[in-house]
Amino acid sequence: LLAVGNSLTDTIDGYISPVATSGGIDLSWNRYTVPGIGTWVYDMQPTGGFGVSNVQTAVKTVAYDHLSFQPFPNMPCVPSGHASESTAQNRSDAVNIDQAWDDAVGVNPNVQLWVYEAWPPTPTEGYSNCVTGGGWLRDPSIWNPSSPGSWNAAEANELLYMEAVRSALIALEPSRPVPYIVPAGRVIRNVKTAV
């Protein structure tokens, strides 16, 4: 497993190994995380993060069984399209993730791709952003959710965004294993509801 994202993805550090071990799974995993970064990190900042020293080199040379990417509410902040843009910050999350997926299948054609769904900001931070809706929207013709009236509604929009990224990846690579979503935001929503 290689998890690529920011500090929200990095919350697995220190937890994933003990959980895997408790289930009898011998997990070899690593990460590449940079605080506050979006999916463009793979193309534009492959070094300097936590974990592997160069994320592109790792993806191109290690036969990972699983590869996870976390979209984030900064650029590109659009789930699909914009493939011809000059920089990864202006391409979509799906196009950016697909670049890494292309590299990963060169080493392991059956690599399983995951899209990591984080969670919205707290109400005091203002839970609306370009992923959850109600904030700046880069391309409303592609992503234009209703403005959330609650944290739960913002989380629902967040999950819909990840589903849109997943659908775009399936359209880009229909012959590859279907990507999955890590529903971390939905888990937090369920824990919040239970509490």
How many angstroms from the chain centroid is the CA of residue 25?
A: 24
pLDDT at 135: 78
Model-level pTM?
0.94
Looking at the predicted structure, is the pLDDT value of residue 10 above 90? no
pLDDT at 169: 98
Which residue type, as a one-letter code, is found at position 151? Answer: W
Confidence of residue 126 (pLDDT cuts 50, 70, 90): confident
Count CA atoms within 13 Å of residue 92 on its CB side: 23
Average pLDDT over residues 145-164: 95
75-102 residue pLDDT tens: 999 999 999 999 999 999 999 999 999 9
Buried b (16+ CB within 10 A) or exposed e, 94-129: bbbbbbbbebbbeeeeebbbbbbbbbbbeeeeebbb
Average pLDDT over residues 31-41: 95
d(CA 71, CA 40): 9
Average pLDDT over residues 48-64: 97
Looking at the predicted structure, is the pLDDT value of residue 12 above 90? no
